[in-house]
Structure 1
Amino acid sequence: MSLVRTRATYLVYASLGFYGWFIYGFGPVVPLIRDEQHTSRAVAGLHGTALAAGALVAGALYPLFARRIGRSNTLYATLAGLGLGIVLLVSVPSVPAITIAATLFCGIVGSTLVNVAPPALLDVHGPGVSGAALAEGNAIATGTGLIAPLAVGLSLDRGHGWRPALLVATLLAAVILVVGRSTGARLPSAAPSSFDEKQGAEHGQVGRRPLPRRYWIAWTVTLCCIAAEFATTLWASDVLRNRTGASAALATGAVTAVVGGMCAGRITGAVLAARLPGAVVLLPALGVALAGTALFWAATSPVWAIVGLAVLGLGLGPLFPLSVDLGLQASGGQSDRAAGYSSYAAGLAIGSGPFVLGALADVFGPHAAFLVVPTLFAAAVVGVLAAGRRAPASAV
């Protein structure tokens, strides 16, 4: 099946691009906030913890919003909410408690926005190509993520600080809202079965039908993939410095190789997922990620380590969108509820994956601790195979 893009598709793509600018631009801003506030790395790291906590809250809120006000209104509201949250973040006094609270708000609204995309694209394009559409949308988010840190650096170089670069995201949100509303772009409403209305509405138990076991296997795959992604992007530079003797500047810049590889991987994954089942694409992507991890871990020169990171990013790219789509297709028609639970996976992975690797690095060193990443990939392989075995014959 071919991927036929609609106005709803482009609305989701643009929204993911806006979120990508914020989330990838916010990463390099955290050390700058730390410099302003003269705090420890642990305190500055609470901004990342706030984003993870926001994802957990969003997991509970999204199904409720989708049911009460619909997907379109949820998307438009979160676009406006995150745009205003960014304005709040750059405007409040630079005090840890205040900036962390503002980050928590952005995390809640932003993660709710992201939760709209998978079920909406599933209903727009159907199970055959929804994974391709989600991978393509995430490629756009990663592409804007490549530009956002450069914008932060340019703003700093011009003497304007980091704030104007983040405010660009608010301008993007305003443009998307105006264009989306003026063109009448709307997302499909959830089917009644998504909330089990036929069986539970009369008793106030809407959406409470248990999700299938196959969904929870796919959910675990998503958890492993997100944890591996964030552990890599946060700790790869430390491993690179420790293993190869690279300078701090080179090691920090090398993380761009991961993000660039992820962007290429999501584009490639979108092309393949339009022709093959998502689970079939997930397995070779995990293989590429494992190969890149092995090359990076074994490298003793910065050049080969950076090549390994690029290959690792190439494999990482399609894992998140395709694993989420795998879970939604296994949800038994409860796609909005399943998307909300996927946000729990994101929050737990972001909050625990990098922390576990960092704790192990304190004991065994960063190079040995990085073996957590291939372990997560291996667990994801087992999960994909288990989900495939449990797939009903009609799905196969």
Structure 2
Amino acid sequence: MSTAPARPRAALLLLAYLAFVSLGLPDGLLGVGWPSIRSDFGVPTEAVGLVLTAGTVGYLTSSVLAGFTLARIGVGALLAGSTLLASLALTGYALSPVLAVLVGCALLLGLGSGAVDSGLNAYAAGAFGPRHMNWMHAFFGLGVAIGPLIMTGALSAGLSWRWGYGIVAAAQLALATAFALTVRAWRRGGPATTGAATAPAVRVPIRATLRLPAVWSGTLAFVLYVAIEVSAGLWAFLLLTDGRGLSAAVAGGCVSAYWGSLFVGRVVQGVVAERLGATLVLRVSLVGMAVGAGLVAVPGPAALAVLGLVVVGFAAAPVFPLLTLTTAERVGAAHADRAIGLQIGAAGIGAALVPAGLGVLIGNTSVEVLGSALVVLALALVALHEWGARRSTDRPNGQPVPAQPAGEAQTSGPVRPVVEGR
């Protein structure tokens, strides 16, 4: 058998990993850079909500439209154009004279990031299989871990926060160039050439999906999970500096350690989940998130809060990928695609509204409220998951969902629902 196709597929896989690193970089920049940004623009702490909301609106819009765009221009062109847009938006961040311009750039960044995220996930689901899906999300964590280091390095060198965004904008431009040069390779290496059988169509009305309690409990679970992940990363720097007395350089390194633990956890626990099963790993991870949040909430030395953040990051690592991969088990294969779409959209909402609300709460009380908020969110997520697990034995329409061995790629693809109307 020829191994010629393996080389371009390996190159595309490397680009996919780098793209997920690039998706995480801006998220890591904002948490460390925001105190300097708000000082330069003369705005209150809670103004970060405007940036997060604008980014979420762009992200949700492009995520919804990505499926239609893919059919017209292909994944390679979508990735190249969207990454270029992200690079231009980050350049706008670096040059913004006022907050209003930065908010507009956040909208553009969300448009670019949402298209890259949706396009790569859609491509990888058919071309790379579940193992690489997990590792791609791990590389997102790596990108978010590198982001604070870039911004901390710029600030520690006496440079403006604008340099941090300028550096990442240049990296995004290089990635956009790589995508543009490999447009044809993405088309040749797509799911259509992998030998996977076409998934059977099953007619499922939209209203049948929306009536399932498991769809909405899963959607809310994504809101809570992403709210914890983003809130901890966004406000940890402020907690460690203003609340626990660490220097900016040390606190920036600690925030990077939080995101780094998310990356390491996804690499390690992906292997563990294959051996022990997703259900057990999810339960232990959710409890671990609550324990880590408790450590952050306990008044004490900065080291205790840092330990709590690392525990939260490591425990949270496999939750997003495993919740996504087990969606069909909760809602049924015929409803899975639609449910995942709702979940990803809800994740974007949770990433913006809850951290922004926490910013308002912190601005009117104290940054120490962060730990208590994380505890409440983590306990709510544990309770919601346990409630959903008890109901998962009642399959949609009474039909069991066939189990798939952990770590194995699907050979026939998921059942694809056909939309019949509202």
Q: Same fold (TM over 0.5)?
A: yes
Match of 1:53 in 2: 57
In structure 2, the CA distance between the partners of 1:300 and 1:89, relative to structure 1 (3 Å rule), is closer
1:353 aligns with 2:354: yes
1:244 is displaced (CA, Å) by 4.2
Match of 2:83 in 1: 79
1:217 is displaced (CA, Å) by 2.3
1:20 aligns with 2:21: no
Match of 2:145 in 1: 146
Q: Distance in 2 between matches of 1:219 and 1:39?
A: 33
Summarize deviations over 1:24-57 as a string: whole Å, max 9, x none. 2344344444444444434454222211222332
Match of 1:64 in 2: 68
Match of 1:273 in 2: 273
Q: Distance in 1 between matches of 2:300 and 2:189?
A: 52
Q: Distance in 1 between matches of 2:328 and 2:118?
A: 11
Q: Return the letter of the residue paired with 1:144.
A: G
1:115 aligns with 2:114: no
Q: Secondary structure at the match of 2:271?
A: helix
1:149 is displaced (CA, Å) by 3.1
Summarize deviations over 1:264-310 as a string: whole Å, max 9, x none. 11112222234454333211111222222222322511222212221
> Structure 2 stretches of 5 or more lacking a match?
1-5, 404-422
Summarize deviations over 1:193-223 as a string: whole Å, max 9, x none. 69x6x759xxxx9x78635543332222111
Q: Distance in 2 between matches of 1:241 and 1:90?
A: 24
Q: Return the letter of the residue paired with 1:385.
A: E
Q: Return the letter of the residue paired with 2:29.
A: G
Query: Which residue among 181, 189, 203 is the counterpart of 1:178?
Result: 181
Q: Distance in 2 between matches of 1:208 and 1:188?
A: 29
Summarize deviations over 1:87-138 as a string: whole Å, max 9, x none. 44445x5233222112101112202221234444333455xxx2x4333112
1:262 is displaced (CA, Å) by 1.1
Q: Return the letter of the residue paired with 2:87.
A: G
In structure 2, the CA distance between the partners of 1:219 and 1:133, relative to structure 1 (3 Å rule), is farther
In structure 2, the CA distance between the partners of 1:251 and 1:22, relative to structure 1 (3 Å rule), is closer
8 Å CA contact 2:126, 2:191 repeated in 1: yes
8 Å CA contact 1:55, 1:346 repeated in 2: no
Match of 2:313 in 1: 313
Q: Return the letter of the residue paired with 2:313.
A: G
In structure 2, the CA distance between the partners of 1:317 and 1:24, relative to structure 1 (3 Å rule), is same
Q: Distance in 1 between matches of 2:55 and 2:218?
A: 23
1:300 aligns with 2:300: yes
Q: Distance in 1 between matches of 2:387 and 2:359?
A: 30
Q: Return the letter of the residue paired with 1:86.
A: L
Q: Distance in 1 between matches of 2:246 and 2:153?
A: 24
Q: Distance in 2 between matches of 1:43 and 1:94?
A: 16
Q: Distance in 1 between matches of 2:241 and 2:151?
A: 24
8 Å CA contact 1:55, 1:112 repeated in 2: yes
8 Å CA contact 2:241, 2:251 repeated in 1: yes
Q: Return the letter of the residue paired with 2:107.
A: L
After TM superposition, the score normalised by the length of structure 1 is 0.80
Q: Distance in 2 between matches of 1:323 and 1:42?
A: 31
In structure 2, the CA distance between the partners of 1:27 and 1:19, relative to structure 1 (3 Å rule), is same
1:388 is displaced (CA, Å) by 3.5
1:370 is displaced (CA, Å) by 2.7
In structure 2, the CA distance between the partners of 1:185 and 1:77, relative to structure 1 (3 Å rule), is farther
Q: Distance in 1 between matches of 2:88 and 2:247?
A: 38
8 Å CA contact 1:229, 1:316 repeated in 2: yes
Q: Distance in 2 between matches of 1:57 and 1:180?
A: 23
In structure 2, the CA distance between the partners of 1:183 and 1:43, relative to structure 1 (3 Å rule), is closer
Match of 2:343 in 1: 342
Q: Distance in 2 between matches of 1:11 and 1:247?
A: 36
Equivalent runs, 1:178-197 vs 2, <5 Å: 178-179=181-182, 181-182=184-185, 186-188=189-191
8 Å CA contact 2:29, 2:164 repeated in 1: no
Match of 2:136 in 1: 137
1:242 is displaced (CA, Å) by 6.5
Q: Return the letter of the residue paired with 1:307.
A: L
Summarize deviations over 1:123-182 as a string: whole Å, max 9, x none. 3455xxx2x433311221222332233334445528583343122222133224424645
Q: Return the letter of the residue paired with 1:210.
A: T
In structure 2, the CA distance between the partners of 1:183 and 1:366, relative to structure 1 (3 Å rule), is closer
Range with bigger deviation, 106-115 or 80-89: 80-89
Q: Return the letter of the residue paired with 1:105.
A: L
Aligned length: 381
Q: Secondary structure at the match of 2:191?
A: coil
8 Å CA contact 1:30, 1:44 repeated in 2: yes
Q: Return the letter of the residue paired with 1:287.
A: V
8 Å CA contact 2:127, 2:189 repeated in 1: no
Match of 1:106 in 2: 109
Range with bigger deviation, 18-27 or 284-293: 18-27
Match of 2:164 in 1: 162
Q: Distance in 2 between matches of 1:69 and 1:47?
A: 30
Summarize deviations over 1:51-100 as a string: whole Å, max 9, x none. 12223323432343345555555444423332343344445x52332221
Q: Secondary structure at the match of 1:370?
A: helix
In structure 2, the CA distance between the partners of 1:115 and 1:276, relative to structure 1 (3 Å rule), is farther
